[in-house]
Chains A and B, each alone.
Chain A
Amino acid sequence: DADVTQTPRNRITKTGKRIMLECSQTKGHDRMYWYRQDPGLGLRLIYYSFDVKDINKGEISDGYSVSRQAQAKFSLSLESAIPNQTALYFCATSDFARGGADTQYFGPGTRLTVL
C-alpha cells in the first residue's frame, strides 16, 4: 500500500462549488504539506502543518483552507472553486531531520478541473 494517499485522484467540478481534497499517510510523519502544480510554474506551497496543532499559510493560500484532523490526515478545501484553481494538487509529508534537510514524500496527486 502507498505511504501517502490522496482522494479523489481526479475531480471535475463547477465554479462556486466547495471541494475537499483529502490526504492520508502511514509514514508516521509530523509534517504535511499541500502544493499545487501548474504547467511551467513548478510546485507552489499552499499550506503546511508541522504537527496537529500547527497550521501555516504558504505562498498561495488565498481561496484555500486546510484541516489537520490527526497526525495522519490533512485535508485541503476550496471554499468556492474558480477556474484558475484548475491544477494538479499534491500532498507531501516529511519527518524533521537535524539541520532541516527533510526528504519529502509525495502522494500521487489529484487532478482538479474547475469549469
Chain B
Amino acid sequence: KNEVEQSPQNLTAQEGEFITINCSYSVGISALHWLQQHPGGGIVSLFMLSSGKKKHGRLIATINIQEKHSSLHITASHPRDSAVYICAVTYTGGSYIPTFGRGTSLIVHP
C-alpha cells in the first residue's frame, strides 16, 4: 500500500518561531498537496506542487522528487496558524485519488 508519512505528529511552538512539517511518500507521484484543517473542522488547500518550491505569505512548501520528501515551513508563526496540516499525494498510474497523511497538529502559543 502506498503510504504518506508525516512528522511530527504534534508540534507546539511559541509565537514568532520558524516551523517545519515534513512529509514522505513511497512511490512516484503526479502532485503533492498541503492542506490546512482549522480547529472548527474546515479543510482548505494551501499548495499543490510537483517540483521545486511555492510560497504564499508566510508559508513555504518545498518538494524533493528524488528523495520523495516535502516540507511545509511557516515563518514568524502566529497563534492563528494553529491548525492540523495535512499532506496528500496523488500517485502516477492510478485514478489520481489523493492519499492522505494523518496530519500534524500545530499549536502556536502567544
Contacts and interface: CB of A to CB of B under 8 A. Distances in A.
Interface of A: 33, 40-45, 48, 56, 58, 88, 90, 99-106, 108-109, 111
Contacts of B86: 42-43
B96 A43 contact: no
B96 A40 contact: no
- Identify the interface centre among A41, A58, A90, A103: most chain B CB within 10 Å of its CB: A103
Nearest to B92: A100
A101 B50 contact: yes
B41 A101 contact: no
Given A42-B102, A45-B97, A101-B96, A109 B42 contact: yes
Given A42-B103, A90-B43, A108-B42, A58 B97 contact: yes
Given A99-B50, A101-B90, A109-B41, 10 more contacts: A33-B97, A40-B102, A42-B86, A42-B100, A58-B97, A99-B31, A100-B96, A101-B48, A101-B50, A102-B96
A101 B45 contact: no
Nearest to B31: A101
B98 interface: yes
A58 B43 CA distance: 20
Interface in B20-77: 30-31, 33, 41-45, 48, 50
